Amino acid sequence: MARISKQELIRLQRILKTDDAIGEKFGITRQAVHQLRVKYGIASRLVKNKERNARIIALYKSGKSGTSIADKMGLSAPQTYRIISMAGKKKKR
Question: In Å, how far are 32, 40, 51, 56, 63 from 82, measured between CA atoms?
Answer: 29, 32, 16, 11, 17
Q: How far apart are CA 21 and CA 19, in angstroms?
A: 6
Q: How far apart are CA 56 and CA 47, in angstroms?
A: 16
Mean pLDDT calculated for residue range 75-91: 86
* 34 contact partners, CB below 8 Å, separation of at least 6: 19
pLDDT in tens, 15-49: 988 899 999 998 999 999 999 999 999 988 777 78
Mean pLDDT calculated for residue range 60-74: 93
Q: How far apart are CA 23 and CA 33, in angstroms?
A: 6
Q: Is the sign of the CA dihedral 34, 51, 13, 3 positive or negative? A: negative
What is the per-residue pLDDT for 1?
56
Binning pLDDT at 50, 70 and 90, where does residue 3 land? confident
What is the per-residue pLDDT for 65?
94
Flag whether the pTM goes above 0.85: no
